[in-house]
Chain A
Amino acid sequence: DGGITQSPKYLFRKEGQNVTLSCEQNLNHDAMYWYRQDPGQGLRLIYYSQIVNDFQKGDIAEGYSVSREKKESFPLTVTSAQKNPTAFYLCASSSEAAQGHGELFFGEGSRLTVL
């Protein structure tokens, strides 16, 4: 079945540590996105990539980094510079063939807690 796989589902991190969240898709989508969601709030865009080897900052990129070496993969690193990283992280993809009118397909999310 086609879809997006995020791992790990739950992650605990000590302050000062970098952590990497994995996101893999087999939908052959060009565009991939990382969103952050805080409790009871909407989604805020961290980074997005519309093509391999290229990515752009979203609204809240500080303290995060990404790579897009393969079409299928878009990992997110939460660095120690991110002051408040405890949140729910959602990875999504979309088909650019729909030229902006296609819906987002989401993974199940990764919940990061800083101890």
Chain B
Amino acid sequence: AQKITQTQPGMFVQEKEAVTLDCTYDTSDPSYGLFWYKQPSSGEMIFLIYQGSYDQQNATEGRYSLNFQKARKSANLVISASQLGDSAMYFCAMREVNTNAGKSTFGDGTTLTVKP
């Protein structure tokens, strides 16, 4: 079974609007971290936001917030006030502390296109 599932291969959003990128995960490890990375066309991977499995509140970093629903095993990324520079591929990833030696597992990604 896929550990990380991103069901939206591509998404479009109008500049200045908000967009939600979906991510569901599968683990039996009680201790894990969830991450979102951005990959522009240049290829570098940029860390955006982190949510720990024991965190009570949703993580926020500037225009990025993570909608963490633990019971649903969901960790959606919300980008507010989209900018043209947000056009990129976005990856959801998980690190399992106890059951996977802390290795990161990545989803297949969502390509976001911001329209002017």
Enumerate chain A interface residues (CB-CB to B < 8 A).
31, 33, 35, 40-45, 48, 50, 56, 58, 88, 90, 92, 94, 96, 99-109, 111
Q: Are A104 and B45 in contact (CB under 8 A)?
A: yes
Instruction: Give the total of B residues in contact with A, Cβ under 8 Å.
Output: 28
A50 vs B107: C-alpha distance when bound (angstroms):
23
Nearest B-chain residue to A108, judged by Cβ: B44
Chain B at the A interface: SS class: strand
Count of CB-CB pairs between chains A and B under 8 Å:
67
A26 vs B93: C-alpha distance when bound (angstroms):
24
User: Hey, which chain B residues are within 8 Å of A100, CB to CB?
Assistant: 31-33, 95-97, 102
With beta carbons under 8 angstroms apart, the residue of B32, B35, B96 that contacts A103 is B35
B25 located at the interface, meaning its Cβ lies under 8 Å from any Cβ of chain A in the complex = no
Nearest B-chain residue to A31, judged by Cβ: B102
User: Hey, which chain A residues are within 8 Å of B47, CB to CB?
Assistant: 103-105
A76 vs B111: C-alpha distance when bound (angstroms):
28
Q: Are A33 and B43 in contact (CB under 8 A)?
A: no
Enumerate chain B interface residues (CB-CB to A < 8 A).
31-33, 35, 37, 42-47, 50, 52, 91, 93, 95-97, 101-109, 111
A104 vs B107: C-alpha distance when bound (angstroms):
15
With beta carbons under 8 angstroms apart, the residue of A92, A104, A108 that contacts B43 is A108
User: Hey, which chain B residues are within 8 Å of A42, CB to CB?
Assistant: 91, 106-109
Minimal beta-carbon separation of B87 from chain A (angstroms): 15
> Can you name 20 A-B pairs with beta carbons within 8 Å?
A31-B102, A33-B104, A42-B91, A43-B45, A43-B106, A45-B103, A45-B104, A48-B103, A56-B101, A90-B45, A94-B102, A100-B96, A100-B97, A100-B102, A101-B50, A101-B52, A103-B35, A104-B35, A104-B37, A109-B43
